[in-house]
Structure 1
Amino acid sequence: MHSDIPFSTDRLDGLLDDFGIDVLIVTSKHNIQYLLGGYYHFQFDYMEAIGISRYLPVFVYVKGAQDKSAYIANRNERDSVQNRISAGYWMPPVVYGSSTSVEAMTLAIQHVKSVATSRLQVGAEMSFLPADAADLVRRELPHCQFVEAMRPLEKLRSIKTIAELEILREASERVVASMMDAVGRIHTGHSKREIIAHLRQAELSRDMTFEYALVTMGTSLNRAPSDQRLEPGDIISLDSGGNYRGYIGDLCRMAIHGAPDGELVDLLGEIDLIQQAARASIRAGLTGRDIYAAANEALPRSPHGKQMHFVAHGMGIVSHEAPRLTASGPIPYPADDANAPLEAGMVISIETTLPHARRGFIKLEDTIAVTPDGYQAFGDGARGWNRIPS
């Protein structure tokens, strides 16, 4: 293995063996970033559409022969790639010349034909492969069979390196700090749109990319941006995803204009008890079902347990990535990892929500990294009622 390759080729080769894949044709933004150690052409950070088609980067990986890898780049990407190489980062051989999805896949197929046999199991990310590019692969590689590559790539990403964990720690800390920055700037009369604008600017000022904010105010359970305005005594939930160096910090914290009364203190305390019960059990070797068992054991002891919603899911480059621990959460997917032992380096989001009809939307969401004998919590501050200035 090349010492600078930013992923384990042995682990990837083993996963490809497990799923019967000979050659990977990677086309998703998140997996391109992961396999190239954080690289993605800056011109298409915001949108892939251009001209009559779209930007389609392609990473070709041949199992057991990483020296035969190639990156298919846009014709305007040379400066971006050169900067990456000049900074000392690994890049596979680069093939330039694409400006459409068909041109990109044509170059990728030419490379596959030059380095591999004609009968292959080709791993592709079906949700991220344009129809015109997929048709081209089927036509040009007629003896090859498509295999869904989402799962082995997801499993590859699920165990984070020390460097990745540090980025996720920073992402989480910066999101929470941004929330507290926004809370300090909020005043009565501000709309949800204005509050989100404060949060966006706070994340941008911390070298993050603002992805989203789900915000509730007062007794409303509506989390979308709107012109609803803060009234005296209102509570606010801030649930934001901020991206730092390609990794997502996704946490939820609560704020209030004025002082929380005893009932609000108790309600947030109930939520925290569920959070702590789920967190306390986490360690390498535990299963996802064990996390849910700990939370489900605590919920009946809460006066509002029947109204609460608990979910645990993987975090990293993608929200709700592996380990996938439930099939009944807000994002539908199979619970493929619910019975598998957690491994050190996995990162899990733990969240408990109470949509209270009279008091409003109350929630905590924490980011937990699995360690050999327990866990580390990232961005674990400000978990109480944070005061909005009067």
Structure 2
Amino acid sequence: MHSEKIPFSMARLDDLLDDFGIDVLIVTSKHNIQYLLGGYYHFQFDFMEAIGISRYLPIFVYVKGALDKSAYIANRNERDSIQNRTSAGYWMPTVVFGSSTSVEAMTLALEHVKSAATSALNVGAEMSFLPADAADVLRSELPNCRLVEAMRPLEKLRSIKTAAELEILREASERVVASMMDAVSRTRPGQSKRKIIDHLRQAELSRDMIFEYALVTIGTNLNRAPSEQRLEPGDIVSLDSGGNYRGYIGDLCRMAVHGAPDEELVDLLAEVDLIQQAARAPIRAGLTGSDIYAAAAEALARSPHGKQMHFVAHGMGIVSHEAPRLTASGPIPYPADDASVPLEAGMVISIETTLPHARRGFIKLEDTIAVTPDGYQAFGDGSRGWSRISG
């Protein structure tokens, strides 16, 4: 073991594990491993898992209340990455090398679990990130254990960001917006949607980000997938992009138009912005997610196009939709487990309002809001009006 600072709150994690009845965590998702290891990075975190006859499967084992019994099960080719990490002074648990397949990784993890804890266990596992063959090994080697879904306690652990995490999220948001403005400056009539997305990709890459996605519309077409559709004179463009910076998502939406926006376009975007401002205005620690939706609903009821608009608010951080989970009726359905729970300082909320206008096109703003004790901070909050495409 190492004496360096532990990158997560053991007390908070242990309390969450108590709440969910978990004795031992077997973490297999790359995003949660990256979080628990304080930003540890191996190149296979970014790329496909397939390798040789199996897949890359990192595993972090955590025994509740016993940090000294934790372990990281590493692939054979991770030695250099881990050496660089520890040489730089970062904490790492005991590292067990030797896996090349998912079965080998789980076998090594369970050997460690058996040496560190009793056989009658409540084992927390991320079912969506547990390969079938590794799950078979787990059930075979620990036949008396009770498997408990660990996704929820892990995302609740991540939901309150540290000051360092908030700074990364601020930077991620600002870099995404700057990349959008860079893409707008390079866009010209006649270019395809694929070309515009490529402008955005290159802009994010040039800012040391990993480009994850771009949802783009042109003109009155509401289709946001990449295509050969061409930008025509006077068309509007919506840019909704997720860029990953040091493991955290910058996810915002901004609008552009070729030439100058007419009065109607100015009014429509202002109408969308009024919903955004109404939703963010009451945000502070102690407010509930349902209060955000109530504020947005009041503004939508007064808006001329309120019945056509779609509003959603959701937690974000390492994952673009994570705790706090505030609605069960958004574009990505999940239980609204946190809708009536008070927000806490350090939580980060994405708020987004969309107007799919049949005659003018897809008009949307998406903003990133960090909850503070007495209010909020907006990250990447520039360029919220109509950015102009020249040429």
Q: Does 1:4 align with 2:34?
A: no
State the alpha-carbon separation in 1 of the partners of residues 111 and 47 from structure 2.
29
**8 Å CA contact 1:255, 1:388 repeated in 2:** yes
Give, in angstroms, the shift of residue 42 of structure 1: 1.1
After superposition, what is the alpha-carbon deviation per residue over 1:194-242, rounded to whole angstroms, capped at 9, x for unaligned? 0010100000000000000000000000000000000000000000000
Matched, 1:323 2:324: yes
Cα contact 2:119–2:145 (8 A) shared by 1: yes
Counterpart residue number, 1:100: 101
Letter of the 2:12 counterpart: R
Aligned twin of 2:237:
236
Question: Given the superposition, is the C-alpha separation of residues 2 and 333 from structure 1 closer, same or farther in structure 2, using an over 3 Å criterion?
Answer: farther
The CA distance in 2 between the partners of 1:45 and 1:296, in whole Å, is 39
Tell whether 2:260 aligns with 1:256: no
> Following superposition of structure 1 onto structure 2, how do residues 46-61 of structure 1 map, counting pairs within 5 Å?
46-61=47-62
Structure 2 residue matching 1:68: 3-state secondary structure = strand
**Secondary structure of 1:69's aligned partner:** strand
Asked if the contact 2:76/2:99 (under 8 Å) is kept, the reply is yes
Letter in 2 for 1:233: G
Mapping of residues 1-390 of structure 1, within 5 Å:
4-390=5-391
RMSD of equivalent CA atoms: 0.9
For 2:301 and 2:333, locate their aligned partners in 1 and report how far apart those are by CA, in whole Å. Answer: 25
Shift of 1:43: 3.7
TM-aligned CA deviation for residue 39 of structure 1? 1.1
In structure 1, C-alpha distance between the alignment counterparts of 2:315 and 2:148, rounded to whole Å: 24
Gaps of 5+ in 2: none
* Deviations 1:132-172 (CA, angstroms, capped at 9, x unpaired): 10111111001111000000000000000000000000000
1:22-65 Cα deviation digits (max 9, x unpaired): 00000001101100111131145211111111000000000000
Do the aligned partners of 1:192 and 1:227 also contact (CA within 8 Å) in 2?
Answer: yes
Q: 1:311 corresponds to which letter in structure 2?
A: V
Q: CA deviation at 1:312?
A: 0.0
Question: How many angstroms apart in 1 are the aligned matches of 2:4 and 2:367?
Answer: 34
Distance in 1 separating the partners of 2:251 and 2:224:
15
3-state SS of paired residue (1:76):
helix
- Say if 2:240 and 2:251, in contact at 8 Å, map to a contact too: yes
CA contact (8 A) 1:32 1:40 kept: no
Distance in 2, Cα, partners of 1:271 & 1:336: 27
Query: Does the CA contact (< 8 Å) of 2:216 and 2:240 recur in 1?
Result: yes
Q: How many residue pairs end up in the alignment?
A: 390
String of CA shifts for 1:304-330, please: whole Å, max 9, x gaps: 000000000001000110000000000
1:352/1:256 Cα in 2 relative to 1: closer, same or farther (>3 Å)?
same
Q: 3-state SS of the aligned residue for 2:225? A: coil
Q: Is the 8 A contact 1:59 1:71 kept in 2?
A: yes
Write out per-residue CA displacement over residues 83-133 of structure 1, whole angstroms, 9 at most, x where no aligned residue.
Answer: 111111111010000000000000000000000001000000000000110
Q: Which amino acid aligns with 1:260?
A: P
User: 1: distance between equivalents of 2:183 and 2:320?
Assistant: 23
Secondary structure of residue in 1 paired with 2:77: coil
CA–CA distance in structure 1, aligned partners of residues 106 and 297 of structure 2: 48
Q: Provide the rounded CA distance (Å) in 2 between the counterparts of 1:108 and 1:194.
A: 46
The answer to whether the 8 A contact 2:44-2:56 is kept is no
Runs of 4+ in structure 1 off by over 6 angstroms are none
**Structure 1 spans left out of the alignment, 5+ residues:** none
1:46 aligned counterpart, secondary structure: coil
The answer as to whether partners of 2:30 and 2:45 remain within 8 angstroms in 1 is no
* CA distance in structure 1 between the aligned counterparts of 2:166 and 2:318, rounded to whole angstroms: 11
SS class of match (2:343)? coil
C-alpha contact (below 8 Å) 1:288/1:325 kept by paired residues: yes
> Structure 2 CA distance, aligned partners of 1:16 and 1:296?
36
Query: How far is 1:192 from its partner?
Result: 0.5
Contact 1:29 1:40 in 2 (8 A): no
% identical equivalent positions: 87
Normalization by structure 1: what TM-score? Answer: 0.99
Compute the TM-score of the two structures, normalised by the length of structure 2.
0.99
CA distance, structure 1, for counterparts of residue 384 and residue 163 of structure 2: 26
Give distance in 1, aligned partners of 2:300 and 2:209: 35
Aligned partner of residue 12 in structure 1, secondary structure: helix
Which residue identity lines up with residue 26 of structure 1 in the other structure? V
The one-character-per-residue Cα deviations of 1:311-368 (angstroms, maximum 9, x if unpaired) are 0000100011000000000001000000000000000000000000000000000000
Give the Cα separation in 2 of the matches to 1:52 and 1:296: 52
1:10, 1:151 → 2: CA distance? 17
